[in-house]
């Protein structure tokens, strides 16, 4: 009975995604169609129509870009990795954007934390998504603290803590639903994709959030017992 439940659960997520994709892409398409028609009549401000059309096309590109991440299972390679190095690389990548938003990224890494058997690209994608959400939650800047420690034996814990807007229950309960976003330029895919990737690594994601105070995303991953296993 359990496997059947998992099966139907998976189907409903695929169905939900398909309906979401159709809807999310139909909206900008309808708008593009409308403005192309207006352009044809020669009525109104051409420049404004072009601006709207190109921003709608950008939106479709953004959605497709995130969906393509989901559709690349063939390139997955599980290797024993030092998560600290992956986090440091991702932070270097995002630091400029953070500084531009008045955000400081602080780290607190347990240097003896165990390695994790993981796909490097997927792990980095997950970290990027959580850090981006943290940056975006702090409209007037603040500090993101990324903590990593061994936690219980056989586990690695990573905490992404921000001082941002936080989430009331109404948002928390919908977090991870495909296309659910509160942002004007959001896709509502980042969290869902990250959670799915962590779960595919036999890990879990927990969210602790207080409106007006901030959010902590806690990621738990199974650790590799021998920390000195090769890493590249
Ligand atoms: P997006 O960032 O494109 O909106 P996500 O799936 O990454 O999509 O996040 C969905 C929603 O969850 C966001 O729109 C936001 O409302 C909320 N959220 C996610 N992370 C945070 C965070 N760290 N702080 C506050 N709200 C968050
Ligand atoms: Mg996001």
| CB of 135 shorter than 6 A to ligand 1 | no
156, 116 in Cβ contact below 8 A?
A: yes
**Does 146 have pLDDT greater than 60?**
yes
Contacts of the segment 171-174: beta carbons below 8 A, 24+ positions apart: 172/207, 172/209
146, 193 in Cβ contact below 8 A?
A: no
Q: Per residue in 6-61, pLDDT tens?
A: 444 544 556 667 777 888 888 899 999 999 999 998 888 889 899 999 999 988 98
Of 84-88, 111-115, 128-132, minimum mean pLDDT range: 111-115
Residues with CB under 5 A from ligand 2 (ion): 133, 190
Model-level ipTM above the cut of 0.95: yes
| CB of 131 shorter than 6 A to ligand 1 | no
Instruction: Give residue 68's pLDDT.
Output: 74
| CB of 24 shorter than 6 A to ligand 1 | no
**Ligand that lies nearest to the alpha carbon of residue 174, given by its number in the listed order:** 1
Instruction: Give residue 151's pLDDT.
Output: 76
Distance 193 CA to ligand 2 centre (A): 10
Helix (H) / strand (E) containing 207: strand 204-210
| CB of 137 shorter than 6 A to ligand 1 | yes
Instruction: Give residue 231's pLDDT.
Output: 45
Q: Per residue in 208-225, pLDDT tens?
A: 999 999 999 999 999 997
Instruction: Give residue 73's pLDDT.
Output: 61
Instruction: Give residue 21's pLDDT.
Output: 81
Q: Per residue in 28-40, pLDDT tens?
A: 999 999 999 999 9
User: Ligand 1, closest atom to CA 189?
Assistant: 6
**Does 229 have pLDDT greater than 50?**
no
């Amino acid at each position: 009975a359990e496997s059947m439940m998992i099966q139907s659960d998976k189907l409903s997520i695929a169905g939900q995604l398909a309906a979401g994709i159709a809807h999310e892409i139909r909206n900008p398409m309808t708008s593009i169609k409308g403005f192309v028609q207006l352009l044809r009549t020669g009525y109104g401000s051409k420049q404004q129509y072009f601006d709207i059309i190109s921003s709608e096309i950008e939106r479709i590109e953004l959605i497709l870009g995130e969906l393509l991440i989901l559709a690349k299972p063939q390139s997955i390679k599980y290797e024993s990795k030092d998560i600290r190095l992956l986090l440091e690389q991702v932070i270097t990548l995002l630091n400029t954007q953070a500084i531009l938003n008045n955000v400081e990224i602080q780290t607190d890494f347990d240097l003896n934390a165990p390695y994790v058997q993981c796909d490097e690209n997927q792990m980095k994608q997950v970290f990027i998504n959580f850090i981006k959400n943290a940056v975006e939650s702090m409209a007037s800047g603040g500090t993101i603290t990324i903590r990593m420690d061994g936690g219980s034996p056989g586990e690695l814990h990573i905490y992404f803590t921000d001082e941002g807007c936080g989430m009331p229950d109404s948002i928390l309960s919908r977090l991870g639903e495909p296309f659910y976003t509160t942002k004007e330029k959001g896709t509502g895919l980042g969290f869902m994709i990250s959670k799915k990737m962590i779960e595919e690594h036999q890990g879990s994601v927990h969210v602790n959030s207080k409106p007006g105070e901030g959010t902590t995303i806690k990621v738990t991953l199974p650790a590799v017992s021998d920390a000195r296993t090769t890493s590249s």
